[in-house]
Amino acid sequence: MSSALNRLTGPVALAAFAVLITSASAASPVKYPETRKTTVVETLHGTEVADPYRWLEDDNAAETKTWVEAQNKVTFGYLAGIPEREKIRKRLTELWNYERFGLPSKRGSRYFISRNSGLQNQSVLYTMETLSSEPKVLLDPNTLSADGTVALSGLALSKDGNLLAYGVSRSGSDWQEWQVRDVKTGKDLADKIEWVKFSGASWLKDGSGFFYSRYDAPTEATKLSKANYFHKLYFHKIGTPQSEDRLVFDRPDQKEWNFGGSVTDDGKYLVISQNQGTDRKNRVFLVDLSKPAWDVVPLLNEFDADYTPLDNDGTTFWFRTDLNAPRGRIIAIDIAKPARSNWKVLIAQNEDNLTGASVVGDRFVVDYLKDARSVVKLFKLDGTFDKELPLPGIGSAGGFGGERGDKETFFSFTGFTVPGAIYRYDFTTGQATVFRQPKVDFNSDDFETKQVFYTSKDGTRVPMFITHKKGLKLDGSNAAILYGYGGFNISITPSFSTSMAAWLELGGVYAVANLRGGGEYGEAWHKAGTKLQKQNVFDDCIAAAEHLVAQKYTAPKKLALMGGSNGGLLVGAVINQRPDLFGAGLPAVGVMDMLRFHKFTIGWAWTSDYGTPEDKTEFAYLKGYSPLHNLKPGTKYPAIMVTTGDHDDRVVPAHSFKYAARLQEVQAGEAPVLIRIETKAGHGAGKPTAKLIEESADKWSFLYENLGMRSSAPR
């Protein structure tokens, strides 16, 4: 790849911004801020690629900040002109105002649980002596910032439950700071750990310290954009400064290797999992913690499959793996006899996709996906099938944490119209009982979810969930949202969304397509939507939209496409290919520049799914669908509202900035092209409730205006 020829031309006409942002509203044509163009050109594999808005990649530049302010002024001016916006915001606030809980866990003699009273920006962590005792506040992140933008990003309790290591994220950044709290006193110790990313914490059995992974400290100017390389695994001893932390493992010769360390429940071993990018394949190394040298010994070093450690019984380790089993199985490896010929299959692959497993209650608790719906089965430790755990209906189950000797575990269950309830499962009685049931001001009985299957372009059968009011008339008049993701082996399963509840009450249809690239049917389904087969994902999405239209759930002018992150890429690529099929698009924090994604923060890690622009063949393929590079002048695009956060250091906001600027430049139709840039927000995790409500109100108002929904008003 050649270096860029950066020939900047034209005045930095910041004053022009103020002239063009006067009175944008839903009732009048939108006048966009003038975005300066340059003549940046790069020659990649013999192809000249123009990048006139590259200056927007500099998030610290005054000109970029001025552009952000100008775009937000236009966007919020437009949204303020939608009469229904305040009604929608009010209804969202009412819906969000319900008590909700996280899954309880037990350490030592105490239970730990998170709770949000309703409209708190962040959930609060409590302790309880028993499941029926009064919860006591242990950590309230709402006290860490006035606006709720400091969020808990990780929790790790010592074996006896007396010490809590907790990570916090500021303004949505992936960077974490970790501290330690004495559970008995509720006071923080002096320990402070900085520059942690993509890592949890794992305690030694005696509570004397914990393992964590971090990067070297960046500069203030580059911390939100510089590529993250050379992950390192450390041990922090309680009561010592971070500068004295012990380096346990790194690979100076492998800048893309990321490490995670986890202490086994018996406290005897440290299991180090090494990944490269987002590929599920990993290597596994072991440390015998009884030996002071802490030598790192390879166990699984072929990088040929996913090996997820579950637990161990002495020298026998149990792994969930997709080795020779694309839908997953569970195997046993005796580290005293590690040769592959000695491995034992405990739970064989079956027709459903094994997505998760835990060892608790002297059982393997195994979570399967059957056509993107949860099925949970229990097996004895020798792999013998025990029973299927009855679930309340069609939906998603999750949780099942704990240790092997525990007599109970907790899990959540949710569906598109069913708020997530928490259940306690008793291994002695074999009964599941409701532990906490949320009470939401939403009548689930008024709505229904059905699962359909449609045929994609190449004949592949693809599932899709469709949720709407009961008695919906299939006459093509309904506004609808089609949501998709299709990447990184991530399964999109039924779940309740407070925001989407408001959309359903508005009369909207909500469809979720389980596109290739995801993990719904195992590794083969995932691989079919990666690299040089990424077009399959877009074809699956287009076929889903065509199915909704053909079955008269909606019509093209009434249909919106929505997705975030990799799903934002999906929205951009699909609407570029079929602008006639949609009335609106909501791409959130999307990967829009497929020729430069690998140059920022953790973007290089996505090459396992996307391929790399450094390869000539993959470059040509990426350029062929890159949302930024396939916007065509003279095209009438549907209404688009891009959303991003100024502190997004996962998918840097430059992706959205450049895409929005180019789309505003080429839009030939009258539909608005807006970008909503949340300040003090990142990729989405930890976003305060107040910001979630405001953003949802703005999205639904934008669709209300542009999908012609005035015939149905919010209640």
Residues with a known catalytic role = 565, 683
Q: Tell the residue number behind the tokens 């890159």, with chain if given.
A: 626
Would you tell me the crossing angle of helices 689-706 and 62-80 to the nearest 10 degrees?
Answer: 60
User: Residue 199 CB: number of other CB atoms within 10 A?
Assistant: 25
Please name the amino acid found at residue 398: G
H-helix or E-strand spanning residue 625? helix 616-625
Single-letter amino acid, residue 515: L
CA distance 411 to 432: 9
Buried residues in 364-377 as b, exposed as e (16+ CB within 10 A): bbbbbbeebbbbbb
Closest to 380 measured CA to CA, from 398, 359, 396: 359
Give me the half-sphere count of Cα atoms (radius 13 Å) on the Cβ side of residue 47. 18
Buried b (16+ CB within 10 A) or exposed e, 107-130: beebbbbbbbeeebbbbbbbbbee
Taking alpha carbons only, the member of 318, 316, 320 closest to residue 329 is: 320
**Which residues 6+ apart lie within 8 Å of 364 measured at CB?**
310, 318, 330, 346, 347, 357, 358, 378, 379, 380, 381, 383
Q: How far apart are CA 391 and CA 258, in angstroms?
A: 36
Residue 193 contacts by C-beta under 8 Å, 6 or more apart in sequence? 177, 178, 179, 212, 214, 236, 242, 245
Best CA proximity match to 562, nearest among 488, 638, 448: 638
Distance, CA of 161 to CA of 155 (rounded, Å): 12
Residue 160 CA neighbour count, 13 Å, CB half: 11
